Structure 1
Amino acid sequence: MKDFWRAPLRGVIFLVAITGSTLAQDRTTSPLEPTPVSPERIAVGDVADDEQIARRLTAILQSTSWFESVAVDVRDGVVFLDGLTDSPEHLAWAEQLAQRTEDVVAVVNRMTVLERAWWDFSPALAELRLLRAKIIRSLPLIVFSVFILFLSWWGTKAVARLARTSFEGRYGSALMVAIVARLVALPIFLIGLYIVLQVAGLTSLALTLLGGTGLMGVVIGFAFRDIAENLLASILLSLRRPFRPNDLIEVTGQIGIVQRMNTRCTVLMTMDGNHVQIPNATIFKNTIINYTANPNRRSDFVVGIGYDDSITAAQELIAQMLSEHPAVLNDPEPMVLVEVLGASTVNLRIYYWFDASRYGLAKLKSSLQRLTKRKLTDANISMPDEAREVVFPQGVPINMAPPPTGSTSAVSPSIPTPDPAPPAPPPDQENYAEEPVSMDAEGHLHSEAREVQEQAATAPTPEEGEDLLR
């Protein structure tokens, strides 16, 4: 019964011993050094004596340069190993080497593993020497790769230049010409890069890069969403061109003259001389008012006259003044309309058209309101304020006459009814002629755009880069 279990038990012990030895070897293998492999059997001759075995093992151990102070002693087939080594792997390798030598009965391994000091840089130096050797062997390949990359870069520039010249007349946008030229030239560089990776044996890396382009594009799109949005908006704005350089536009409440547009924003110079940078995505998604697209512009102002004055006469006087003003256009014809019957005045709204490229809005409105006031004043047409006011030019007389005979009422003053206002005299043309159309204080009515442009020419531009509007 004991013999029945002895054989299987020996087999299990043998398997466990082999598995443990294998796991120990796997754990002690260093990733920085190659795993030493011992030959199956080493022959030393037909009849191996102790001295031959010692000489053979000593020569092999010394040739590896893994051991120091190597001493091999063989007595009746028993090998005694002495010396120093730098790793447990080399120690186990020497023992296996001695065991597989012919006519060796047993091995006594008395070698010592040296512990490396923390200042020992020999592994790093060994890796550097290995890297230097690899670089020297790969030097022809590196030179060829650099040549291919330079050739592909030169070809890309040449194709982009040719494409830019070809598409410059078809697209009015400089940005679109640049983008189309780069898209046409990009395959040249990609082909050169693929050839370099193929020659270097990095085909899998090339396929990985090509396959991961979509995923990287998604990641970059989320990370740089605002930048991509502004870039796309700049492309669409450069194609549609809702405004041009030096146009007076209004976007999101900002009014200014367009200075430049890059891939991020559009720069405006406000009428106050300030630079305003508006992101292109904001401009594209909001309402754009271009005051320069049509030079003719309409404006208006309100004037109130008294209830006792003739509305028709006031309208004719203001219309005559508008028709005689050199800055007001006769086509479309100006209008003087009754807007509202207020508490104390009849409000007239005056509409007029003018050339905004030549005249300033604020200056012209000042001139027209000044002339309107003079015209109505000369015609004795009142312009009262909001409080109702009754004027008695002759004063308020008090009648102290006694009451009629037989009346017992007390004496009370009587307030006479004021005399009706005299008819309005005809307009004083001579006085009106003395009123100048424009004054030095009003800046002579010319547009402020020229002054703002002069300020912009001398001011530094806050946003650098290629101007996409040129």
Structure 2
Amino acid sequence: MTCSTARAGRWPGARRALLAGLHLLILLAALCLGGTGAQAQTTADPVQTDGRIEVGDAAVRDSEILNRIEKLLAEIEGYGAVTVSVSEGVVRITGEVIDNAAQDRLTQIINRVAGVVAIENETEISGTLEERLAPAMERIAARTRNLLANGPIFLVALAAFAAVAAGGWLLTTRIGIWTRLAPNPFIADVYRAVARILFILTGLVLALDIMNATALIGAVLGAAGVVGLALGFAVRDTVENFIASILLSLRQPFRPNDFVDIQGDQGTVARLTSRATILISPEGNHIRIPNATVFKGRIVNFTRDPRRRFGFDLGVDADADLAAALSTAVAALDAQPFVLDDPEVGAWISEVGDSNVILTFTGWVDQTRVDFAKARGEAIRAAKMALEAAGFGLPEPIYRVRLDSAAEATPSPAKDTAAKQAPREAVSADLPEAADPERTELAAAGAARREREGLDGGENLLDAQQQAE
């Protein structure tokens, strides 16, 4: 049983290999026979003409056909070694010609002679190198003479092209109209580049028109379109980022030193290049985000409006006077010099926890005068100290642990102890200078400035003078 199974597994593979080999041999034989047949058709088989075969007195005599063909070949260069014979309208050609093109052309010429029934072209290709090179040398000489004859008009066309291109270069570099038309220097450079390309195309069209070669314009533009399409697919990401940089420089969704959040990346804006937007994170790291991602993504600008709201949560005892707790914390926040009066401080009960009640407080600060993070931290400290000073407890979560072996034990003394503990008197030390809300952190702004002024920071598409979006 084992031997028969193995043999059955081997035979299908051998059979497939044998069939594949037979198919390959048949294909090669077909190709060989096809090539031989094609060769026989071009060299030996008579070519049938499309003319009507006349009979009787209307038929053209063989002598007339021969005389006509010999006179034609005598006037055409390259057929001096060709011999022609005619029998019953069938023309037989022997001798030597220069190349295959001359051989095909000979058949076409004889095919147009009236009275020819069929053509047997038995001519051979001449193997003499000099004979085959002579036509090429004549063509080169003729083109050289043509070039020399058209040299003056070519120089005039070249001078016209150079004049138009030079005029475009002067217009785009020496005249400051582009800066006045564009909203920022980067867009002005884009205008200049487009203008230079238009001037070059105008000069090219003018030069071709002078040389009476305007028919080449369509071919040149078609080739340029194909090349541009291929390059567009090859550098699609680069082109997308460049176009996004143009749109971002026009819209200006952020300015240098703005603190933004782009697709989850937070940092201070250093600069906008033609490919990426560079941020400096609060930790001092450089973040490069492709402009296409920036343009299509979600941008949160925390600096655009100088007023910014902070918020935090504090938990008090569940049995505390919640209205009094809210009033105490709000009064403490109103007393802070960095908290704005308009908009007012907000406070509400957000949720009831397992062992406390969560109170939420909000306030507004001016980011141009204080550091947002430090102001929020100081507001939390002030509200906490005020609540503790007023006797409100800020309990931590309390958990009850029940053991099966002591199911009938008395309640955990931890809860009773916590309930009986008197609120501790709040003690506040002096606020260190590093935590002063009015002391802003300039490290990120300094790093962004160094990025713009550094050796690799020459390109910046953000303009502080341009109106922002």
Letter in 2 for 1:89: E
- The unaligned stretches of length 5 or more in structure 1 are 1-6, 30-84, 94-122, 390-411
The correspondence of residues 345-364 of structure 1 with structure 2, limited to 5 A, is: 345-364=356-375
1:447 aligned partner: 440
Structure showing greater relative contact order (alpha-carbon pairs closer than 8 Å, 6 or more residues apart): 2
Residue 206 of structure 1 is aligned with which of 209, 217, 239?
217
Please show how residues 341-420 of structure 1 align to structure 2 within 5 Å.
341-387=352-398
Partner AA of 1:26 in structure 2: D
Q: Deviations over 1:292-343 (max 9, x none)?
A: 1101111111111112333233222211211111221121111222111111
Counterparts of 1:160 and 1:89, CA distance in 2: 57
Aligned to 1:293: 304
Letter in 2 for 1:21: G
Give the TM-score taking structure 1 as reference length: 0.61
The match for 2:346 is 335
Counterpart in the other structure of 2:165: 153
Sort the Cα spacing of 1:422 and 1:181 in 2 relative to 1 into closer, same or farther, 3 A: closer
Per the alignment, in what secondary structure is the counterpart of residue 168 of structure 1?
A: helix
2:330–2:383 Cα contact (<8 Å) kept: no
1:453 is matched by which residue type in structure 2? Answer: A
Which residue does 2:334 correspond to in 1?
A: 323
Contact 1:194 1:206 in 2 (8 A): yes
| 1:380-406 CA-partner distances (Å, limit 9, x unpaired) | 3211111169xxxxxxxxxxxxxxxxx
For residues 129-148 of structure 1, the aligned pairs below 5 Å read: 144=156, 147-148=159-160
Distance 1:351 1:144, change over 3 A: same
Q: How does 1:188-199 map to 2 (within 5 A)?
A: 188-199=199-210
Alignment partner of 2:448 out of 456, 459, 463: 456
Give, in whole Å, the separation in 2 of the partners of 1:236 and 1:273.
28
Residue matched to 2:183? 172
Structure 2 partner of 1:11: 86
Q: What's the TM-score once normalised by structure 2's chain length?
A: 0.61
How many angstroms apart in 2 are the aligned matches of 1:464 and 1:422?
61
Pick one of 79, 95, 98 that aligns with 1:21.
Answer: 95
> How many Å separate the matches in 1 of 2:179 and 2:201?
24
Identity %: 28
CA RMSD of aligned residues (A): 4.3
Structure 1 residues 336 and 388: alpha-carbon distance in aligned structure 2, compared to 1, 3 A threshold: farther
Cα offset, 1:141, TM superposition: 6.4
Quote how far apart the aligned CAs of 1:452 are. 0.9
* Inter-partner Cα distance in structure 1 for 2:380 and 2:359: 12
- CA distance in 1 between partners of 2:133 and 2:278 (Å): 75
Q: 1:251 to 1:89 in 2, by over 3 A?
A: same
Bigger radius of gyration: 1
Letter in 2 for 1:168: T
Superposed structure 1 runs of 4+ greater than 6 Å apart: 90-93, 126-139, 420-425
| Contact 2:268/2:448 (8 A) holds in 1 | no
CA distance in 2, matches of 1:90, 1:316: 109
Distance in 1 between residues matched to 2:341 and 2:440, nearest whole Å: 19
What do residues 92-132 of structure 1 show as CA deviations (whole Å, max 9, x unaligned)?
A: 99xxxxxxxxxxxxxxxxxxxxxxxxxxxxx99x9999999
CA distance in 2, matches of 1:464, 1:337: 48
User: Alignment partner of 1:386: what SS?
Assistant: coil
Higher helix share: 2
Distance 1:249 1:91, change over 3 A: closer
Which ranges in structure 2 are unaligned for 5 or more consecutive residues?
Answer: 1-60, 64-84, 103-126, 401-409, 464-469
Matched, 1:249 2:268: no
**1:254-265 paired onto structure 2 within 5 Å:** 254-265=265-276
1:466 — aligned with what? 459
1:385–1:424 distance in 2 versus 1, CA, 3 Å:
closer
- Conserved 8 A contact 2:393-2:423: no
Cα distance in 1, alignment partners of residues 246 and 343 from structure 2: 38
Q: Work out the CA distance in 2 between the residues paired with 1:462 and 1:277.
A: 17
Q: Aligned pair count? A: 345
Work out the CA distance in 2 between the residues paired with 1:92 and 1:348: 103
Q: Distance between the aligned counterparts of 2:317 and 2:194, measured in 1? A: 72
Is 1:305 matched up with 2:316?
yes
Moved more, 308-317 or 323-332: 308-317
Query: What letter is aligned with 2:275?
Result: R
